[in-house]
Structure 1
Amino acid sequence: MTHDLDPTTDLSFTRTLAAPRQVIWDCWTNPRHIPHFFVPAPHKVTEVEIDLRVGGRFNTTFEVDGTLMDNKGVYLEVMPQEKLVFTDTYTEGWKPASEPFMTAILLLSDAPDGGTIYTAIARHRSSASRETHESMGFHDGWGTVATQLETYAKGLST
């Protein structure tokens, strides 16, 4: 899967995180870590299911203002410590979702100082979906998640 950006359908940002790439990878691929960073506080992750393989599930449930939200998806690509691609377009067993929203692409590489260059891409089916996600606060939300991830991962790597 390519990560060439299409400005009409894709949103992205890149940040250098002060934690080693292996730790960032572990945070994204181990269900015990996901609740510590995956949604902007004060929202909470209440359940996580990970089957880390192409076609395997990446299901989360989170609580937003007292409302539980289920997100079911699958992994499309898994390149250890480098790339993680998941989508809500399908659920486990390649069953199409009724209302898919996006495909997420996470790219990780080593930063010169021992940290991680972290790129998050949200790929949408249409420009309208991209615009909706942007107006929902993609940059602030995913930026907050990256900050929470960095803080949590630094605690694991010390």
Structure 2
Amino acid sequence: MNLDPELDLVLAREIAAPRELIFECWTQERHIPNFFVPKPHKVTSCKIDLRVGGAFNTTFDVEGNEMANNGVWLEIVPNEKLVFTDTYSEGWKPAAEPFMTAILLLEDLGNGRCKYTAIARHRSKETAESHKAMGFYDGWGTVVSQLEAYAQGLK
């Protein structure tokens, strides 16, 4: 993958959960509230229509403020890759202020482990810098840790 250090933020980690289970957690509505935002924040609703162009909508409660995040799936490779964006919402309706496209890569490492790579791709250097300043690495790192712990409880 051709990464642009000015536009792409990358978080990669080995986690103690099989990629099939991580893929399931990312693609089923019942799992998303258990890991998707750093605690104590929480997901209050989720809609997943797992197909290219299908909805990937979440609503968060962050310190009493409700934040809607609507998007669509751009690419789905079972157990290997998920790509979604907030540039469009369901029905390919353009967003007024798109923020990023996320790319999630899962690589089997054997023995119930996988390499988890999350890429946040931005439209401009300024948006990427803003995301970094908002705490991309800490926030997305916390989400990966929560996901790993949650997935281990499902095994």
Smaller-chain TM-score bracket: over 0.9
Per-residue deviation, residues 23-57 of structure 1 (Å, max 9, x unmatched): 10000000000000000000000000000000000
1:144, distance to aligned residue in structure 2 (A): 0.1
- Equivalent position of 1:24 in the other structure: 22
Separation in 1 of the partners of 2:37 and 2:148? Answer: 13
2:106 aligned with 1:121: no
Please give the TM-score of this superposition, normalised by the length of structure 1: 0.97
% identical aligned pairs: 66
* TM-score normalised per structure 2: 0.98
2:2 to 1, 4, 19: 4
Bigger CA drift: 68-77 or 3-12? Answer: 3-12
Please list every run of 5 or more consecutive structure 1 residues that lacks an aligned counterpart in the other structure: none
SS at the partner of 1:25?
helix
The C-alpha deviation readout for 1:118-155, integer Å capped at 9, x for no partner, is 00000000000000000000000000000000000000
Unpaired runs of 5+ residues, structure 2, are none
State the 1:7 CA deviation.
0.3
| CA distance in structure 2 between the aligned counterparts of 1:5 and 1:113, rounded to whole angstroms | 29
Residue 111 (structure 1) aligned to one of 89, 109, 112: 109
Q: How far is 1:13 from its partner?
A: 1.2
CA RMSD across the alignment: 0.6
Q: 2:83 aligns with which of 82, 85, 89?
A: 85
Deviations 1:52-73, CA, capped at 9 Å, x for gaps: 0000000000000000000000
Task: Tell me how many residue pairs correspond in the alignment.
Answer: 155
- Does 2:128 correspond to 1:130? yes
Within the candidate set 133, 136, 152, 1:154 is matched to 152
| Structure 2: distance between partners of 1:55 and 1:37 | 24
Please say if 1:62 is aligned against 2:60. Answer: yes
Task: Give the ranges of 4+ consecutive aligned residues of structure 1 lying more than 6 Å apart after TM superposition.
Answer: none
